[in-house]
Structure 1
Amino acid sequence: MKYAFSHIGIPTTEEKNWDGFYEPGKIHFTDFSKDEYGVEWVKFDADSPMPEMMRTIPHVAYLVDNMEEALEGKEILVETFSPGEGVRVAFIVHNGSPVEFMEVKE
């Protein structure tokens, strides 16, 4: 499996100029592709269903070619979901922290 670095996501309680909102997870986020260092800020609504680990610990994200293969044998934190057209995302637990896998189809 090949992993290509995508971005780092940092939880915050501060207000930012949000680029999007993922309604099912109640997550506000900035567009990491606009940041010169690939930083994505994420803020979770009080009633977000996302796990505490995701809401409180920064995550590193990697692009993967095949989501099912990337997840094989891993401890799943958040099952695969689609935050936008052509994108699938899942989170695993690795050494006590969240790691995001992103599969992008063009």
Structure 2
Amino acid sequence: MEYKFSHIGIPTTEEKEWDGFFEPGKVHFTEFDKDEFNVEWVKFDADSPWHELVTTQPHVAYLVDNIEEAIAGKDVIVKTFSPAEGVRVVFVAHNGSPVEFMEIKEE
């Protein structure tokens, strides 16, 4: 399995100039690809259904070719979801920290 670094996500309680809001996860976010260091800021609503590790700890994100292969035998803490057309995302716990895997299918 090859992991290609994508970004780091940092939870905050501060207001930022948000680029979007993902309703199912109740999370506000900045676009990491607009940031010089690929930092994504995330702010979760109080009633966010996501795992506490994701809402309170920074995460590192990797691009993978196959999410099912990437999560095999791993502790999934946010089930696979699609935030945009052709994109699938999942979060796992790794040594007490959240890790995000992203699969992007280009047409």
Give the superposition deviation at 1:52. Answer: 1.0
Aligned ranges 1:58-69 → 2 under 5 Å:
58-69=58-69
Distance 1:75 1:52 in 2: 14
SS for the counterpart of 1:83 is strand
The aligned counterpart of 1:26 is: 26
* Alpha-carbon distance in 1 for matches of 2:79, 2:25: 12
State the aligned residue count. Answer: 106
Secondary structure of the 1:49 match is: coil
- What does residue 81 of structure 1 align with? 81
In 1, distance between residues paired with 2:78 and 2:17? 26
Secondary structure of the residue aligned to 1:46 is coil
The superposition leaves residues 41-91 of structure 1 with CA deviations (integer Å, 9 ceiling, x where unpaired) of: 000011111111111000000000001000101111111000111110000
The root-mean-square deviation of aligned C-alpha atoms, in Å, is: 0.5
Aligned-partner Cα distance in 2 for 1:83–1:29: 12
Question: Moved runs in structure 1, 4+ residues, more than 3 A?
Answer: none
| Identity across matched positions, percent | 75
List runs of 5+ in structure 2 lacking aligned partners: none
Q: Hey, what's the Cα distance between the residues in 1 that align with 2:52 and 2:68?
A: 24
CA distance in 1, matches of 2:15, 2:6: 23
Corresponding residue of 1:36: 36
TM (norm. structure 1) is 0.98
Partner of 2:49: 49
Structure 1 residue runs without a partner (length 5+): none
